[in-house]
Amino acid sequence: MTQNVTDSDEITTDQKRAITALLSAKTVTDAATTAKISRKTLYLWMKEPAFAAALKEAESEMLDQAVRRLASMLTTALDELDSLLKTGAKETTRLRAVALVLERYFSIKELADLEERLNRLEANLNVH
């Protein structure tokens, strides 16, 4: 899902593959298997600053993509909620789906906003 991992010169091709696997696997063990490395190697890499930084960057990009995707669904969810409220229909499945989209959007948006604020604070601290 992320393209920036492949742009980093600080990590190896195997490490880039491991990051991609970590972003999609359910467990570290699954990621190691997918990346064709040992679990122990993956855990060691996760402690290396360059690998950890590349992984965090990739995770941040995924979060940004999730926020954008959920934002694109927000209008549809709000329209559906508006329709349900106006018609009084008892579409519990649709209502739950709408609630879930709204709930997740605001949760992920809040996390993304906090991450952005933290990054600005860290940048300000590094400048001074």
Task: Say what the pLDDT of residue 54 is.
Answer: 96
d(CA 54, CA 73) in angstroms, rounded, equals: 29
**Is this structure's pTM higher than 0.85?**
no
Q: Is the pLDDT of residue 1 over 60?
A: no
Residue 5: the pLDDT is 59
CA distance 21 to 41: 14
**Looking at residues 85-95, what average pLDDT do you find?**
73
52 CB neighbour count, 10 Å cutoff: 13
Pull the structure tokens for residue 44: 């060691």
Q: Residue 4 pLDDT more than 60?
A: no
Q: Which helix (H) or strand (E) element contains residue 45?
A: helix 39-47
Q: Are 123 and 115 in contact (CB under 8 A)?
A: no
Rounded to whole angstroms, the Cα distance separating 6 from 19 reads 10
Tens-place pLDDT, residues 9-51:
789 999 999 999 999 999 999 999 999 999 999 999 999 999 9
Q: What is the pLDDT of residue 2?
A: 44
Q: Is the pLDDT of residue 71 over 50?
A: yes
Rounded to whole angstroms, the Cα distance separating 10 from 14 reads 12
